[in-house]
Amino acid sequence: MTTSLPPIGVAPPAVAEPPTVTGPGVLPQVAVAVAGVLATAAVVLVGLTSPEGPGAASVVLACWVSVPYVVSGLVSWRRRPDSRLGVLMLATGFATFANFLVWARSDLLFTFGLAVQFLPPVLLLHLFLAFPSGRLTTRASRVVVVAAYALAALTIPDLLLGFEAPRNVLAVRDLPAAATTLLDVELLGLSALLLAGVVLLAWRRHRDGPSVRRAVDLLVQAASLGLVMIAVLLLMGVLDWNTAGDTIRLVAFAIIGSAPIVFLAGLLHARLGRASVEGLVAELGQRPRPAEVQVAVARALRDPSATVAYWVPEYDSWADIDGRQVDLAPVPGRTATPVRHGGATVAVVLHDPTLDDEPELLAAVASVVGLTVENARLHVELRARIEEVRGSRERILQAEEGERRRLERDLHDGAQQRLVALSLELGRLRRDVAAGVDGPSTASPRPPVAETTDLVMRLDSARDTVQTSLDELRALAHGIYPATLADHGLAVALESLATDSTVPVVVEGSPDRRLPAPVELATHYVVSECLTNVMKHAHASAVTVRLDQVDSTLVVEVSDDGVGGVTGHDGSGLRGLADRVEAIGGTLHVTSPAGVGTTVRVELPCAP
């Protein structure tokens, strides 16, 4: 998401660096490859030499649903050793090989093949629900997979009850009815769990939206269809639906075997993407603009949604190519890859999370962007300045208009009303006095003492009203431009603020000369507002105001020992301070760890 870039704020969220993981050694990879070759040879040999062998077509089909998983798993394990995806693929491939040992002449191998007959579909369910990270990320998926493994384990009790006797070497009892019932429970339960897996895949796609990478979407669709076909095959075993059984089995095996092929196609697609990184260098050139960098990165990653955000130190924030603030909080469907230059993170590439499976591609693109990021970052910083100036001007105009309205309201409701009342009261007093003076001097007696006293009290009240109005007018004038500041300078004005504060204030340092009026007024405004905030909210026992003039810059720090915990977005107070400071080319930073206190640091240019 993007918002207007704030001029102040705390440090941006850290960007997690991709972990550095050492891949498997050569010997383990060779061992797995050799084991795959031997397993393939064993299945071919068993399938073609068995007296009741299934035939060459079934052997080819068996290799189709086994070999691709071993090959894809080996490639994935080599490239992403930190992911469990490769291990799950290898386990699926070898478990499928083991399942076809039911073709063997040996009763022992036959029994072993029966024992693992439901393991391949469960591993497929696990694999598809764990794609692409290799980990089950939701509670529902973990429950479904654990339940599926538990049901697959019921095959052992089924064998003990005499299933497929007499070739079953594990049979200890001959209870065919119980064995058949238990087998039906497994078939029905696994069918339901496989369909539940399809629902979870559909829900995840709806939650995250379709992937921008076609290979990923094809793989998810193939997985969903494959799980449905396996569930149908299992239900056929329960209901004894043999009609069209071979056709359904052929379609199911074709879909299941295609999944790792699609996965390998995605890896090849990524490999082509890494090859395009060389073209990325030539395309960006020496002085690319932010939009050119973003388009080139999206093309190299083959991710149209990829964007680049740049770190803008002046605003302590990330900004997009238009200068708007970018929030790097975790968002479903987006991943941030840091771009480093000179040992520091200077940008991030926001992209589809499926690209996390291509760390080499991401690293290559980030490296190229890092080489050309400086010029692009300067463009972004300039746009951020323009965006902030535009927002700051709007806020200043709004604040100015609000201030005018406040002054008008205060004058109308306060001093003006009292002056009107005073005018009326003086008019009545004049009429009373006039009536006493113009009346007969000999015929009328002198006014009673009580009336004279009342007249004096009214005059005193009128005088108090006049004094109150004058005090309010002085206060209003002081708010517009403090008289102490105008007459005596910044040091005396700050000492006056410290004296009026209810919290003890110590003022350290003072300018060695009179500064430009806007600088003095802004400094007075900042210190006044900070002291007001401390008295209202900080629960502090002491405040220190420090002034230090460094060359042509005035540095002002207001520190308290209060509760802290202030951020750059707490109300409009800090925003108003920042606008006032930035209007004359200054900067404002707030440091406020919870429980430690708050320090407001302002830097103002004060060249004459």
Instruction: Please say whether the dihedral angle defined by the alpha carbons of residues 132, 304, 202 and 117, taken in this order, is positive or negative.
Output: negative
Tokens of 118: 């439901």
Domain boundaries, the chain: 26-273, 275-389, 397-434+449-480, 488-605
What is d(CA 588, CA 558) in angstroms, rounded to the nearest whole number?
11
Which amino acid, residue 413? D
How far does the chain reach from its first CA to its final CA, in angstroms?
43
Distances (CA, A) of 45 to 49, 55, 116: 6, 11, 20
Tokens of 410: 């205060």
Q: What are phi and psi of 2, to 5 degrees?
A: -130, 145
Which of these CATH numbers, 3.30.565.10, 2.60.120.10, 3.90.1200.10, 3.30.465.10, describes 488-605?
A: 3.30.565.10
Do residues 91 and 76 touch, judged by C-beta distance below 8 A?
Answer: no
Selection from 570, 480, 583 nearest residue 528 by Cα: 480
pLDDT at residue number 375: 58
What is d(CA 297, CA 368) in angstroms, rounded to the nearest whole number?
9
Class assignment of domain 26-273? mainly alpha
What is d(CA 209, CA 223) in angstroms, rounded to the nearest whole number?
17
pLDDT at residue number 142: 93
Q: What are phi and psi of 117, to 5 degrees?
A: -65, -30
pLDDT at residue number 292: 76
β-bridge partners, 555: 548, 603
Tokens of 315: 């605003």
| N residues, the chain | 608
Helix (H, G, I), strand (E, B) or coil at 580: helix
Q: What are phi and psi of 278, to 5 degrees?
A: -60, -40
pLDDT at residue number 1: 37
pLDDT at residue number 3: 38
Class assignment of domain 275-389? alpha beta
Distances (CA, A) of 427 to 243, 420, 462: 113, 11, 11
What is d(CA 196, CA 128) in angstroms, rounded to the nearest whole number?
12
Distances (CA, A) of 321 to 306, 346, 389, 536: 12, 14, 17, 40
Tokens of 399: 């604040």
CB proximity list for 321: less than 8 A, separation 6 or greater: 290, 291, 293, 294, 307, 308, 310, 376, 379, 380, 383
Selection from 91, 5, 2 nearest residue 568 by Cα: 5
pLDDT at residue number 369: 75
Tokens of 331: 């968002």
pLDDT at residue number 6: 37
Selection from 543, 536, 607, 529 nearest residue 574 by Cα: 529
Per-residue pLDDT tens over the stretch 536-565: 888 899 999 999 988 788 999 999 999 988
Do residues 309 and 328 touch, judged by C-beta distance below 8 A?
Answer: yes
Q: What are phi and psi of 17, to 5 degrees?
A: -80, 140
Tokens of 64: 């189709």
pLDDT at residue number 427: 64
Do residues 122 and 152 touch, judged by C-beta distance below 8 A?
Answer: yes
What is d(CA 195, CA 232) in angstroms, rounded to the nearest whole number?
10
Helix (H, G, I), strand (E, B) or coil at 529: helix
Which amino acid, residue 432? D
- Taking 70 as the pLDDT cut, the residues of the chain under it are 1-25, 52-53, 208-217, 240-246, 265-288, 314-315, 331-333, 357, 371, 373-420, 423, 426-427, 430-460, 463, 466-467, 470-483, 486, 568-573, 608
Per-residue pLDDT tens over the stretch 334-348: 788 888 877 778 788
DSSP 81-129: TT-SHHHHHHHHHHHHHHHGGGG-SSHHHHHHHHHTTTHHHHHHHHHHH
